[in-house]
Amino acid sequence: MMFLTLLAGLLLAGCTNVSQMQQTYQAGDHSQLDHLIEIVARPDYPYATRKNAARALGQIGDRQAVPVLIGVLGEYEQRTTLKEEALRALGAIGDPAAAEAIGRLLDRSLDQTGDEVRLAALPVLGQLGSAQAAAILLRAMRYYDLIQMRNEYAEQRGVFSGEQQRYLNAADSLAARGRGAPMLGVFADEQVPTTSMFGTDMTVGTLEMPDPTPEERAQARAALLQIGPIAVPAILECLATQELSPRLRQDLQGMLAQLQPAAADSARTEATPALK
């Protein structure tokens, strides 16, 4: 049985030349697009071949490939390079419909080994250029700001004792509200299950919140600016309705000044109490 499985894999690899299929497509045989989509969709193809096919789909840029590329983002696979290739392809195609799936992927990547996926996903949201992508990036900026404040507090020492203080982080605070309660995703803003498919506890209190790199924070900001004026309403709503640190509020107002100066002036006026 193992021999037959290995033989089937070798046959698939031997008869699949992604580069040649892409060249044939570009020469006018558009039926090759269906073949490339099939390769990406089928886990029985070699992993490297699926990666090459995903890259080819991004270079071709046809929106017919979007559903299968989104499907890759939801696969249960420890290796991340295929997801990263699918993300880059989605960014190259630029279909705003991919934003929701990328938000879910970002939520699932919130562990110590998901940084490669986040670094690949954040710039793609900027390429999609939609209001939904802007909302996800704003959640990302609020999340990174929360982590930064947590780390700053953790480094402080007691005013009187001089000893390092232990402050509740976001995970501790959420856990204190009651284990097993439904929670919302950081990025996708949807309910996240508290029990995995294997029956293990997935409540926030059991998860260690990561310390995102400065590169991730910078990428989220750059991606939001890349979206351009479409992001302005989402930024204004965030400033008007969310509790933000002074640092993040100032940063968002600065971004407004770059994207739409008139909106930035209005936001500053509303944030400043009128003098009587």
Q: Where are the beta strands (DSSP E) in 84-216?
A: 183-184, 191-192
Mean pLDDT of the chain: 79
pLDDT, residue 165, reads 60
pLDDT, residue 190, reads 64
For residue 191, how many other CB atoms are within 10 A of its CB?
10
Report how far Cα 108 is from the mean position of its chain's Cα atoms: 9
Residue 206 has pLDDT above 70, yes or no: no
Over the stretch 158-175, which tens digit does the pLDDT of each residue have?
A: 667 666 665 444 444 433
Listing DSSP states for 242-253 in one string gives S---HHHHHHHH
Amino acid at 53: A
* Whole-number percent of the chain with pLDDT over 70: 67
> Phi, psi at residue 192, to the nearest 5°?
-110, 135
Spatial separation of the C-alpha atoms in residues 37 and 68, rounded to whole Å: 7
Q: Which residue has the higher pLDDT, 198 or 246?
A: 246
Q: Is the pTM of this model over 0.85?
A: no
Over the stretch 52-87, which tens digit does the pLDDT of each residue have?
A: 999 999 999 999 999 999 999 999 888 899 999 999
Average pLDDT over residues 19-35: 92
pLDDT, residue 41, reads 96
Report how far Cα 273 is from the mean position of its chain's Cα atoms: 36
Please determine, looking at this structure, whether the domain spanning 12-128 carries the CATH number 3.40.50.10320.
no
Using DSSP's 3-state secondary structure scheme, residue 110 falls into coil
Domain ranges of the chain: 12-128, 167-212, 226-268
